[in-house]
């Protein structure tokens, strides 16, 4: 299938591009390289451009007859979205609108959208199903919720079919060390802990130790990036086989506490690093996990890396590779 991957030079997008290439798809990556890298595009053609540039999009869609669009390009840092909301509504919401205009004009039949559990906000439940009301509590979650709605509404008015995947906490790296999270100033727990191991950070903080969980720290559902990538490839196959549009959670359905994650990083690396326990952050629910019944039933998706030791092991291995890569050649 001829596919466009926006944000395909970034962390998650690059893992998906590699798997799409292995599956035999014909790939064009469109990325502005603001947080992505040329070296991360291991299949297909890279076109450097920005979704804010409608003329560049029109040129791209005119030159290729895309059968599917996988849309990853977005800003994803929650605290930044609170401080700079218009950046998020521009890059996430408006740029999705720009992309959808091109999808509509050129009658692209399939779309896979990268969404997030942040659309649920602060639900009372700890295991989340897709039919819960959406109540995001920050501009990042709101920007993604709006994008979801635009895709659904365009699909209702046209021949577009979609799969929207709501990610939980994505972590880990390609087990062969080919790809990993190279995002500057990443805020993800496992990435931050791995940076403490390599000495890029002197230590880290745990926000809140008085939650109603097994050790007082927040529980999150960590999913290996290769399992998440596999869901995107399967989503394309599902739609090509006539599958109906769906919104699906993508997580393992079980979680680990912040302390448990830090302990595994310290044990696996053999490195102790300072951890400061501090007060809760606003907007952090005690526990969030995916009910993944729907994606298992609909796509037949089964995880291959559902193991915290494996996730952390691949993340630590990548961090060492990334340190060497940065010193020799950043791009």
> Which residues are known catalytic residues?
140
How large is the angle between the packed helices 258-269 and 189-197, nearest 10 degrees? 30
Taking the CB of residue 212, how many other CB atoms lie within 10 A of it?
8
Q: Of the candidates 322, 13, 315, which has an alpha carbon nearest to the alpha carbon of residue 174?
A: 315
Given a contact cutoff of 8 angstroms between Cβ atoms, the answer to whether 323 and 198 are in contact is yes
Q: Are 177 and 321 in contact (CB under 8 A)?
A: yes
Contacts of 237-240 with CB under 8 Å at 24 or more apart are: 238/163, 238/298, 238/299, 239/68, 239/109, 239/110, 239/161, 239/162, 239/163, 240/1, 240/110
Rg (CA), the chain: 19
Which of 31, 317, 23 is CA-nearest to residue 14? 31
Q: Cα angle at 164 between 53 and 134, to 5 degrees?
A: 100
Q: Is 69 helix (H, G, I), strand (E, B) or coil?
A: strand
- For residue 318, give Cα distances in angstroms to 1, 9, 35, 100, 176: 30, 16, 17, 35, 9
Strand 127-128, strand 2-6: pairing: unpaired
Nearest-angstrom CA–CA distance, 113 and 108: 14
Copy the structure tokens of residue 273.
């690093």
Measured distance CA(19)–CA(313) in Å, rounded: 21
Strand partners, 47: 30
């Amino acid at each position: 299938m001829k596919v466009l991957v926006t944000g395909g030079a970034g962390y998650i997008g690059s893992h998906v591009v590699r798997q799409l290439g292995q599956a035999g798809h014909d790939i064009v990556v469109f990325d502005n390289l603001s947080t992505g890298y040329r070296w991360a595009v291991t299949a297909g053609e890279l076109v450097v451009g920005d979704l804010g540039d409608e003329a560049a999009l029109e040129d791209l869609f005119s030159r290729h007859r895309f059968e599917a669009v996988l849309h990853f390009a977005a800003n994803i840092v929650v605290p930044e979205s609170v401080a700079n909301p218009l950046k998020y509504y521009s890059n996430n919401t408006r740029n999705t609108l720009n992309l959808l205009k091109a999808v509509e004009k050129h009658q692209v039949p399939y779309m896979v959208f990268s969404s997030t559990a942040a659309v649920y906000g602060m639900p009372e439940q700890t295991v989340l199903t897709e039919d819960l009301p959406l109540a995001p509590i920050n501009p990042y979650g709101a920007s993604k919720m709006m994008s979801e709605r635009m895709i659904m509404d365009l699909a209702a008015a046209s021949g577009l079919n979609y799969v929207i995947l709501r990610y939980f906490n994505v972590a880990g790296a390609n087990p062969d060390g080919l790809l990993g999270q190279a995002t500057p100033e990443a805020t993800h727990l496992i990435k931050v802990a791995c940076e403490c191991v390599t000495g890029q950070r002197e230590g880290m903080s745990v926000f809140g130790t008085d939650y109603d969980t097994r050790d007082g720290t927040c529980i999150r559902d960590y999913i290996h990036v290769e399992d998440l990538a596999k869901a995107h490839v399967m989503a394309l196959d599902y739609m090509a086989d006539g599958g109906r549009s769906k919104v699906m959670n993508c997580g393992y359905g079980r979680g680990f506490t912040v302390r448990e994650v830090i302990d595994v990083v310290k044990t696996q690396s053999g490195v102790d690093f300072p951890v400061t326990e501090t007060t809760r952050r606003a907007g952090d629910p005690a526990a969030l996990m995916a009910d993944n019944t729907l994606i298992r039933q609909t796509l037949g998706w089964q995880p291959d890396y559902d193991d915290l030791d494996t996730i952390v092991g691949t993340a630590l291995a990548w961090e060492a590779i990334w340190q060497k890569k940065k010193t020799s050649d950043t791009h």
